[in-house]
A and B are shown apart, each in its own frame.
Chain A
């Protein structure tokens, strides 16, 4: 089996995950900020960060999907790159994301008798940190 190709694809995949994480953090992060702070007009800096981050997230996700489709055409390469370590790390990342979602839901539940929080903010924050926890875990577990 071609050693360098596997390692190159593995490094490329790790980099796609890193950029998807950065993209998500800034895209959805700025989205929440604009929901929390009611600007009369969204500042240009925030708008540009959101656009760039959205593009970064979308491009990285497309590249991850493309890589996955390429792997599906080559069983040996798929077995190597989506081996048991990768699957184990992915399961752990999903578990962490799930625990974060439950944790945030519990915090909002405990706060609910004292403060009124709009449903949109609750959904935004839960989704943001749940996905971010999964992505960050994925990057940490699959780093070199």
Chain B
């Protein structure tokens, strides 16, 4: 797994919906820090949280999160 990294489209999706990290955090039921660390790739969320985020943005999980080769 060391040669793979998870990227995400949260920032782009947030911009499209015009909401802040804090507002998204409140909608999902987590802290702003959680959203921030996921968005910047510092923290890999659980499947449950990934699904919650994808549902909120009304897209598939694979569209929100992508596994890339380094």
A residues with CB within 8 A of B: 1-3, 6-7, 10, 76, 79-81, 83-86, 88, 142, 144
Contact = CB atoms under 8 A, between A and B. Distances in A.
Interface residues of B, number: 16
Contact of A10 (B31, B43, B46): B31
Contact of A7 (B27, B29, B31, B37): B31
B22 A85 contact: no
Interface of B: 22-23, 25-27, 29-34, 37, 43, 45-46, 49
Complex A-B, nearest 4 residue pairs according to Cβ-Cβ distance, in ascending order:
A3-B26, A85-B34, A83-B30, A1-B26
A23 B26 CA distance: 33
Contact of A76 (B22, B25, B29, B45): B29
A7 B43 contact: no
B34 A84 contact: yes
Nearest to A142: B33
Nearest to B38: A85
A7 B32 contact: yes
- Main secondary structure, interface of A, reads helix
Contact of B43 (A2, A6, A80, A85): A85
Given A3-B23, A6-B25, A7-B22, A85 B30 contact: yes
Contacts of A1: 26-27, 29
A80 B37 CA distance: 15
Q: Which of B27, B29, B30, B31 has the most CB of A within 10 A?
A: B31
A85 B28 CA distance: 14
Q: Which of A1, A76, A83, A88 has the most CB of B within 10 A?
A: A83
A84 B45 contact: yes
A85 B25 contact: no
Contacts of A81: 31
A3 B22 contact: yes
